[in-house]
Chains A and B, each alone.
Chain A
Amino acid sequence: MFTAAVVAILVTMGLALSRALMGPTVFDRILSLNMVGTKTTLLIAALGFLAERPEFLDIAIVYALINFIGSIAVLKFIKYRDLSASGDVQNGRA
């Protein structure tokens, strides 16, 4: 059962990765990488069930947190070219 889940997740990751390689714009690539990150979280969880090592789930939690922060950081960098920007678009540098 978990093998089926792993196979489906891996197929999806392959499709998303090929879109990330093809992607005409940078937003397509970010979208695909975000999806790959979500699928990696699921993959770690499913592998934990397959190996019967429930501590993998903690790693999956950490991966989910890092994935969200990472995609927001990349988006902010693309929008402002500066990770410490205040986000004040009207008065500023966007």
Chain B
Amino acid sequence: MAELFATALLLDIGSWTLILLGGFFSIVGGIGLIRLPDFYSRLHAAGIADTLGAALIISGMVLQTHGDGVTIRLLLIGSFIFLTSPTSTHALARAALATGMPHWRRSVDDGIDIESANRDDLTASSIGDSPNTSADV
């Protein structure tokens, strides 16, 4: 009996920790969404809130279930958010780059030119090396 109580207490502590951490990251992501200077950096804030915050909160909830259908549903929701949220963030970033959305004035050039993003062949070759750094110039 005492062991059962101890286990429940441990699970409660774990749930509290995970949910509070998840809430913290989620609120930090929200603040970042307000405060960061341009669209591309706001993507980063939204990514934190969408993946880390959501995953931590859902893990906290999973600890409160009893290994039945509820657990499976929660894990399904978690894995689905974990798959789709980065996908739509990537699609957003790509669409914004193809539209020619300007960077923040203090951003560092990463060698991706907007023209090649417009051509719909944004592959590893166009991301990899900028012309200035290639050795055979």
CA distance A85 to B19 in the complex (A): 42
Select one of B19, B49, B77, B92 contacting A64, CB under 8 A: B77
**Complex contacts, B53 vs chain A, CB 8 Å:** 12
Q: How many whole Å from B26's CB to the nearest CB in chain A?
A: 5
Residue A83 at the chain B interface, CB threshold 8 Å: no
Indicate if the CB atoms of A11 and B30 lie closer than 8 Å.
yes
Q: Are B33 and A5 in contact (CB under 8 A)?
A: no
Total A residues in contact with B, Cβ cutoff 8 Å: 48
Residues in B neighbouring A4, C-beta threshold 8 A: 16, 19-20, 23
- Find chain B residues with CB under 8 A from A13 CB: 30
**Are A49 and B61 interface neighbours, CB within 8 A?**
yes
Give Cα distance in the complex from A34 to B47, angstroms: 10
B residues near A2, Cβ cutoff 8 Å: 19, 61
Q: Can you name the residue of chain A whose Cβ is closest to the Cβ of B69?
A: A54
A-B contact pairs, 20 of them (CB 8 A): A1-B16, A5-B23, A5-B61, A8-B23, A8-B26, A19-B34, A25-B96, A27-B96, A30-B92, A34-B89, A35-B29, A35-B50, A39-B54, A45-B74, A46-B57, A49-B61, A49-B64, A57-B73, A71-B88, A89-B118
Mark B residues whose CB is within 8 Å of A.
12, 15-16, 19-20, 22-24, 26-27, 29-31, 33-34, 39, 42-43, 46, 49-50, 53-54, 57-58, 60-61, 64, 69-70, 73-74, 76-77, 80-81, 84-85, 87-89, 91-92, 95-96, 98-99, 101, 118-120
Residues of A within 8 A of B49 (CB): 12, 16, 35, 38-39
A9-B23, A12-B27 as given contacts; A57 in contact with B74, CB under 8 Å: yes
- A15 near B120 with CB under 8 A, answer no
Contacts A38-B54, A42-B57, A68-B84 hold; do A8 and B27 have CB atoms under 8 A apart? yes
- Nearest residue (CB) in B for A71 is B88
